[in-house]
Structure 1
Amino acid sequence: MDLNTIYTNLLLNIGFNAKDIQQKWADLEKVYSKKSRHYHNLTHLKEMIESFEIYSNQLQNPNEILFSIFYHDFVYSASKKDNELKSAELALSILPEKHTLNSQLIFDAICATQLHAHNSIEDTNWLIDFDLKILAKDWDDYKIYFEQIRKEYRIYPNLLYKPGRAKALKHFLENEFIFQTKEFRDLYEEKARSNIEKEISLLT
């Protein structure tokens, strides 16, 4: 799967011209390839798009959700709390004047990846689940994931990082469900909870 091709086809479909697309892809690739991005990188986008391609027929607005995938982590700094908001604002700012997308859906969907809470818009629930599917990987892959997250937060000593990470993980367990769609709950809920509980035990 070639991300550039998927991105190019999407932007052509929604009203961008070819010259602009080339530059937009270069900008996106540069941002997601920063050395500081150990997890929130092009591999993460690729894995989300693999899920998107499996479930795209379930979406009311697949182009909006695919566009949101590409831009949901465009702005990412471990020390900031407004990454999703800034990413959503940037995503809308690059849309051409004449485009075919629902801008409000994109903005709300990207912002929803901050809290990963159940949403009244089902398309947004799918985006949230695509983002969180990593939580249900086999343990060896899950371990790589949380080690990558730790590297992204390397500015924080363990004294601060461990309780902060544990608190965030416990929040997932306190919710009735981690995943927002029935399909993902049936497939991944049990495994994700097991992985999270195991990681918490390593943090405390």
Structure 2
Amino acid sequence: MEEIWMNACRKLEISDDIARTWYEKIRRKMVQGSGRYYHNWEELLLRKQEYLGEIGSSSSTIVFAVFFQYFEFDGKRNCVEKNCEAFEEFCSDAGLKDEHVIKLVKKLLGDETIDALPGYEDEINLLQDLDLVVLGSSPEEYKRYRELLRKEYSHLDDSSYTKMRLKVLQTFLMIPTIFSTNEFQTKFEETARKNVDTEIKDLKNSSN
């Protein structure tokens, strides 16, 4: 992951010292603290490494969005504003003044105040597919994902969590494809739908 991050920074002429400082800052942030059972460095970010390397070779904005997307995470509240602020702090330290890059990354992070930008649709599709790749994992890995995710929402009782989770999962099966890009559809769509369908059945059975 460090090489992917460093290459993304170098493309925008960000100094190696600043890039390494922020790489370590993000890594430490995502491995520490309570409540990060799944949305952390090992479980979430490293899972994306295999696919991010190729994508990052042509897009620094995707790399930045992946690294800052869960810089702050709290299962009880939306952290978009805090993550955008962290990215802005990085840009300030890095001397990054490319307004298109800054706005595109913040929009990818969820800043709804930013209007449509060239390249946004393609990049948000890739970002979302990277985030959903766990759905296409093996049954064993998916089971672990389910268990870790449940821990992140331990503030919800079983009934509330099941209701929330079913709403998300059933939406996945209602749409034509879970993944937006052809590559991810080919690799993961079939397995993802099986995993989601299994979880739906399990949740319904456990609530009866």
TM-score above 0.5: yes
**2:15 counterpart of 1:33:** no
Q: How many residues align?
A: 192
* TM-score between both structures, scaled by the size of structure 1: 0.83
- Cα distance in 1 for partners of 2:103, 2:65 equals 11
Corresponding residue for residue 139 of structure 1: 139
Aligned partners of 2:55 and 2:62 also within 8 Å:
no
Structure 1 segments of 4+ aligned residues over 6 angstroms from their partners: none
Corresponding residue for 1:179?
179
- Give the structure-2-normalised TM-score: 0.81
- Structure possessing the higher radius of gyration over alpha carbons: 2
- Greater Cα offset, 134-143 or 151-160: 151-160
Residues 105-184 of structure 1: matches in 2 within 5 Å? 105-111=104-110, 121-184=121-184
Question: In the aligned structure 1, how far is the partner of 2:81 from the partner of 2:2?
Answer: 25
Q: Tell me, in whole angstroms, the C-alpha distance in 1 between the residues paired with 2:5 and 2:141.
A: 26
Gaps of 5+ in 2: 112-118
Partner of 1:65: 62
Coordinate RMSD, CA, aligned: 2.3
CA distance in 2, matches of 1:23, 1:202: 44
The amino acid of 2:86's aligned partner reads L
Between the aligned partners of 2:83 and 2:56, the Cα distance in structure 1 is 22
**Gaps spanning 5+ residues in structure 1: where?**
113-118
Q: Which residue of 2 aligns with 1:24?
A: 22
Which deviations, in whole Å up to 9, do the C-alpha atoms of 1:39-60 show, x marking residues without a partner? Answer: 1111211221211224456xxx
% identity of equivalent residues: 25
Q: Which residue of 1 aligns with 2:87?
A: 91
Cα distance change on mapping 1:8 and 1:52 into 2, 3 Å: closer
1:18/1:53 Cα in 2 relative to 1: closer, same or farther (>3 Å)? closer
SS in 2 for 1:121: helix
